[in-house]
Structure 1
């Protein structure tokens, strides 16, 4: 049944028809009536941001922890240019979101906010979809959602502001996408993959973000062939509790896990993209036969030329291979019999403390934080010198609880991502870790959103009063690092001024007391760690 309504109301109804229960955004004259209708007339939730980039990043965080298409809305012109880096973050992270943006009136080419919006959006790698006429609103919105799901990237829907009060006959568009799991049929590639696995004596199964739904099938295959299991960073926690879990593969591997992976003669990778960090700049793949499985053919062979490639759902591929291995009665490699499980459980050794008086030992502080938070916490990290040590020492109970906001390599993106994750998974405490520079660049303004939404979120600021990567480069060349150091105001005091609890700690005893306060608090907290820039651990790169 169709209904007559203004275009802005039709857009809001389309969002509801797509099952969207929260919209992140920053209003302007091109989208304010749509947001108003979505909230007041349809009962939707709107989470406002302080900056357009923050709105897009919130949607990215929501998509990261839910695997759903999330929605942000911003207005036109400078709103688009403000969101450019956030769109790059989503594109590189293959995160499906729809960004509903406005557009200046086409009849006014001298409009002060007019920009080449399509060119800007497409330069980020995101997709661009044009709302064509009032009559096509429902179909245009549905197309944007469809593209976001299938293309696995942000899609920007361009909505002309002059169209918002025009009348249209609104009718819900078909939105469902069929479930299309794929299993490999009999082929030379399948035979080659099984042959490689059958001849392997030291196989390793590697799972990436694209295989986190396949835990049971991958563990069953690993047990059958006698292989240990490992994950990429973005799949961390997938094999928790498995007897031969090597943890994260690559530059973040523990010494014991590195020895096992480096000695492998076959790596069977499911839904993993072989980044330079996962492969230790290619070292883990040298003189090793590689089979790559992915349901997205664009990922196959993109960074490494494997010996065999299979297009298919990782779960179904694993089951298919297990079936043929059993039918052929291929014996187990028994490689796990030689692995020292005690050594695997030892984890990362603590470096020798070298921090200056009045500062924390960072690695020990991370161990305390890890032990103090609930097991099912959401862990979001910004980019920066602090991050890799945190990734090594902060655990998660499941892969979707791990959200590294580092896809574009930019600092300052994490706060928005953490807010979206905290909103989407409000029943769990969110731990967000950020550097001092990243917080001042992109976190401070959006911390107001954490307070306004009363999120159960702890923001940990790793404050070494420096831009860490630059500090290292100066000191490595025996140069004065003064240009990379800063005397920031107290972040804890700033948090208190904004209405949150602020805790500043410079010793392990103070940290212990602060963590006890955090355990008794449900709501926004900022924990400032006072650190020594000269003693921060080197990045695991």
Structure 2
């Protein structure tokens, strides 16, 4: 049943009609009344951020952990341009988001904050939808949600400010979407792929982010083939309990896993675009048969050209491959019979040694792995320190891991940690960040986490430098001083913003910090003071 109401009320109601209960945002001229209506008329929750880009990142992590479409809102002009890095990160990460963005009035082309917002959005890889008229609000919002789901990327819904106080009829419009695209593979290409698999003596199954839902089918196929299993970073934790799990495939592999991958002769890749870091720039795929299965045609052949490419559903195709192997009575490869279960995921231990006034980073990570809450959600910022975190800090499943790795940016982690926390408020969130990343994007939102009372443990790897750049100067025997910074005490900053924290300069202080985790109340920061000359090299 339709009824007449203001456009700002219609937008808020349409968003709520799509099951949205939480909206992240920063208010301005073109969205403030819509936000107010979402809270007061629709009973939604509004999470106010300190920076516009943070709203997009929070919504992205919320979507990843909750499995829902994330929703954020900002106003026009500079508010949108402040979201550029976040939009690129989330578009490349294929996050299903709807971003409600205000626009300057059409009758004022010389408005100070006027900009061609369609062009701005298009350059990031996000999608763009225009709120066409006051009468089409329900349809336009439904279209934005539909596109976010099927395109798996942020969709910016452009909302002219001069619409907001116009009246129009509103009737609910929700476009239901069946979200299981793709079928099983068939035809000659499938036959060729099965032939390669059947003749392989050392096959290996690799699962990416696009194959997480097919875990059980992939495990059945791996066991049928007697093949080890591995994941990309995006699907970290998918095969935790499998006896022949290699963990992360590629430059982040353990030495034993890397050697085993090199020995394989056929890699069956499900739901991964085979990024350079996954393939070690093609080195790990050399002289092997590569079979790539993905529902996304764009993912096929992007990193390297497979021997067989199947645009198809991962789970259905795994089942079909196993069916034909059974029909042809193809014996198992016997590859895993050569391996000792549970021996392929151990990284080199840390020494625990460091210069006076510093703590050894690898040793600290090993202790944190044991001491951090087991039901944690893990979020990582970008930068030099994160590769060791990805290798040494475990997660229970891929949905419990959020890595801001899609654009090579730093300073995005705390915002995503907040979104993850609000999606799963009964679970603690652990964020790892470098000092430069925290200064860039963490400090301005730490107080937001305090205000929201989030159960957030922030671990800062502080070498008082931009470490990736520092090591390049050192390697070339050049003066690295331009990369070094005398940051303030992050513990003092955390306390001044309403949180708590502990500085760690020794193994004894590390143990004290680990004990303090048990009694934390609200956001808690651990500052690891690190020697910039003694930090593990990046593995990517």
1:516, 1:351 → 2: CA distance?
Answer: 21
Aligned equivalents of 2:484 and 2:425: distance in 1? 36
Distance 1:355 1:180 in 2: 51
Query: Residue 282 of structure 2 aligns with which residue?
Result: 282
Deviates more, 1:431-440 or 1:296-305: 296-305
Do the aligned residues in 1 keep the contact of 2:434 with 2:460 (CA within 8 Å)? yes
Contact 1:355 1:534 in 2 (8 A): no
- Alignment-derived partner of residue 233 in structure 1: 233
Partner of 2:207: 207
Which deviates further from its counterpart, 28-37 or 185-194? 185-194
Contact 2:91–2:153 (Cα < 8 Å) also in 1? yes
**Structure 1 position 67, deviation (Å):** 2.8
Q: CA deviation at 1:185?
A: 4.8
Residue 421 of structure 1 corresponds to which residue in structure 2? 420
Who is 1:267 aligned against?
267
SS of equivalent residue, structure 1 residue 403: strand
**Following TM superposition, by how much is the alpha carbon of 1:351 offset from its aligned partner in structure 2, in angstroms?**
4.5
Distance in 2 of aligned mates of 1:375 and 1:221: 30
Check whether the contact 2:243–2:342 (CA below 8 A) recurs between aligned residues.
Answer: no
8 Å Cα contact 1:184-1:190 kept in structure 2: no
Describe the superposition over 1:118-147 as per-residue Cα deviations: whole angstroms up to 9, x where unpaired: 111101111111000000000000111111
Match status 1:487 vs 2:503:
no
Partner-residue secondary structure (3-state), 1:111: coil
CA contact (8 A) 1:183 1:320 kept: no
Q: CA deviation at 1:343?
A: 3.3
Cα RMSD (Å): 1.1
Q: SS state of the match for residue 278, structure 1? A: helix
Partners of 1:445 and 1:231 in 2: CA distance = 34
CA contact (8 A) 1:379 1:401 kept: yes
Partner residue of 2:140? 140
CA deviation after TM superposition for structure 1 residue 3, in Å? 1.5
Once the two structures are superposed, residues 170-208 of structure 1 have per-residue CA deviations (whole angstroms, 9 ceiling, x without a partner) of 111132102444332530111111111100000000000
Q: In the TM superposition, what is the alpha-carbon distance from 1:352 to its structure 2 partner?
A: 4.4
Distance in 2 between the 1:349 and 1:226 partners?
27
Alignment of 1:500 onto 2:499: yes
1:400-435 deviation per Cα after TM superposition (whole angstroms, max 9, x unaligned): 111111211011111111111111111111000100
Q: What corresponds to 2:335 in structure 1?
A: 335
* DSSP 3-state at the match of 2:85: helix
Q: Which residue of 1 aligns with 2:531?
A: 532
Match of 1:25 in 2: 25
Three-state SS of the structure 2 residue aligned to 1:277 is helix
Corresponding residue number in structure 1 for 2:515: 516
1:522 & 1:149 partners in 2: Cα distance? 37
Q: Deviations over 1:54-91 (max 9, x none)?
A: 11111111122223210000000000111101000011
Match of residue 347 from structure 2: 348
The secondary structure found in structure 2 opposite 1:344 is: coil
Cα offsets for 1:441-497 (capped at 9, x unmatched)? 111101111111111111111111000011011101111111100011100011111
Cα distance in structure 2, aligned partners of 1:179 and 1:420: 23
Structure 1 partner of 2:12: 12
Alignment partners' CA distance in 2, 1:180 and 1:129: 24
In 2, Cα distance between equivalents of 1:433 and 1:470: 19
Q: How does 1:36-47 map to 2 (within 5 A)?
A: 36-47=36-47
TM-score of the superposed pair, with normalisation by structure 1 = 0.98
- Runs of 4+ aligned structure 1 residues displaced above 4 Å come to 351-354
How many residue pairs are counted as aligned between the two chains? 540
| Structure-1 residue corresponding to 2:371 | 372
| In structure 2, distance between residues paired with 1:289 and 1:235 | 22
Give, in whole Å, the separation in 2 of the partners of 1:527 and 1:196: 50
TM-aligned CA deviation for residue 377 of structure 1: 0.9
What does residue range 135-174 of structure 1 map to in structure 2 within 5 Å? 135-174=135-174
CA distance in 2 between partners of 1:419 and 1:186 (Å): 44
Q: 1: CA distance between counterparts of 2:99 and 2:242?
A: 40
In the TM superposition, what are the counterparts of 1:163-202 in structure 2 within 5 Å?
A: 163-202=163-202
Q: Are the equivalent residues in 1 in contact too, given 2:351–2:363 (CA < 8 A)?
A: no
